[in-house]
């Protein structure tokens, strides 16, 4: 087969990807890794109590940035709107789901999470690099600098990625408060049951545990199998039924700070619920504000 034919075949494989399916297999990525319009991102991030340093394993910003900062950072990484993106992390499916959600929030649908992540890639015996390339280091540094420049109010040149903000995928605190009364959306919390019930501490110092009124607990590991791969649609539906969560009603998700909620959103996406919003501030924002003297005083007068 000629090089042109191979390239054409690869392009057809890329274009046949469905955005209704949120993950791609390790085998698919291995077969398409050299496609010029495919960009692969390492989105590894770890909880504070894990005491790991993601700087050496690549690092991504945590909270949702402004659209200008996101566009500047993504452009600095060499990503364009025409690109297909596969994102992975070092735990299987964890923080990669957050980056998948962020790209969708800013209007990019051609993004998928690597099912099983780096552990699955290693398990199948595919090659890994033991050191970070100079190009990757320079791009990561440029992305960080671009974000800083935007937040300083400076203009960033060479923007290759244009955002189209999707507000329906992000919830703020006021929407959560309104939903407590109206119950239009089923509120699903992705934290552990013990944290949800207030009997285990939060990983962040000074944050008490508990849950937002009216929410239901679906710990994110329940949507993954033992290999940290996303459950099948049938298995996901069974889990939701067991927890009293209906796929026929709107769902919004939260967690501790908006990371693991995106894993549950990933699972719901596989079931056809492609418009699930994430409460970005999640429990950390909620309890921090609820515990302020002013908020407590206001609540007592209601």
Decide if 193 contacts 215 (C-beta within 8 A).
no
**What Rg do the C-alpha atoms of the chain give, in angstroms?**
20
Domain boundary residue among 120, 151, 182? 151
d(C-alpha 148, C-alpha 69), whole Å? 8
132/68 same-domain check:
yes
125/193 same-domain check:
no
Return the sign of the alpha-carbon dihedral for residues 87, 114, 169, 191: negative
205/296 same-domain check:
yes
Q: What is the pLDDT of residues 49-83, one digit of tens each?
A: 555 444 433 335 357 999 999 999 999 999 999 99
Top pLDDT among 103 and 17 is at 103
CATH number for the domain that contains residue 85: 3.40.250.10
The reply to whether 8 falls in a domain is no
Best CA proximity match to 58, nearest among 140, 143, 144? 140
120/180 same-domain check:
no
pLDDT at 2 over 50: no
Predicted TM-score (pTM) of this structure: 0.88
Q: What is the pLDDT of residues 238-255, one digit of tens each?
A: 999 999 999 999 999 999
Lowest mean pLDDT among 83-87, 202-206, 242-246: 202-206
Domain boundary residue among 151, 176, 192? 151
Q: Which domain holds residue 55?
A: 18-151
Q: Number of structural domains, the chain?
A: 2
44/140 same-domain check:
yes
Residues taking part in catalysis = 255
């Amino acid at each position: 087969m000629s090089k042109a034919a191979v390239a054409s075949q690869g392009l057809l494989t890329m274009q046949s990807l469905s955005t209704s399916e949120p993950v791609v297999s390790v085998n698919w990525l291995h077969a398409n890794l050299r496609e010029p319009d495919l960009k692969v991102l390492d989105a590894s991030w770890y909880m504070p109590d894990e005491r790991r340093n993601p700087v050496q394993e690549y690092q991504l910003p945590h909270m949702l940035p402004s659209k200008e900062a996101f566009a500047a950072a993504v452009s600095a990484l060499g990503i364009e709107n025409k690109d297909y993106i596969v994102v992975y992390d070092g735990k299987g499916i964890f923080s990669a789901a957050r980056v998948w959600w962020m790209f969708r929030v800013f209007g990019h649908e051609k993004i998928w999470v690597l099912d099983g992540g780096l552990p699955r890639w290693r398990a199948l015996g595919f090659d890994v690099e033991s050191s970070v390339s100079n190009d990757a280091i320079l791009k990561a540094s440029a992305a960080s600098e671009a974000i800083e420049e935007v937040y300083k109010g400076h203009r960033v040149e060479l923007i290759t990625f244009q955002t189209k903000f999707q507000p329906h995928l992000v919830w703020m605190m006021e929407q959560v408060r309104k939903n407590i009364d109206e119950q239009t959306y089923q509120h699903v919390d992705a934290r552990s049951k013990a944290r949800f019930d207030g009997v285990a501490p939060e990983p962040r110092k000074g944050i008490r545990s508990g849950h937002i009124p009216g929410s239901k607990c679906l710990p994110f590991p329940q949507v993954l199998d033992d290999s940290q791969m996303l459950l099948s649609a049938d298995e996901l539906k069974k889990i939701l039924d067991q927890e009293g969560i209906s796929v026929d009603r709107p769902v919004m998700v939260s967690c501790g700070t908006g990371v693991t909620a995106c894993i549950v959103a990933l699972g719901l996406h596989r079931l056809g619920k492609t418009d699930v919003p994430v409460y970005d501030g999640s429990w950390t924002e909620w309890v921090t504000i609820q515990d302020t003297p002013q908020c407590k005083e206001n609540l007592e007068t209601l």
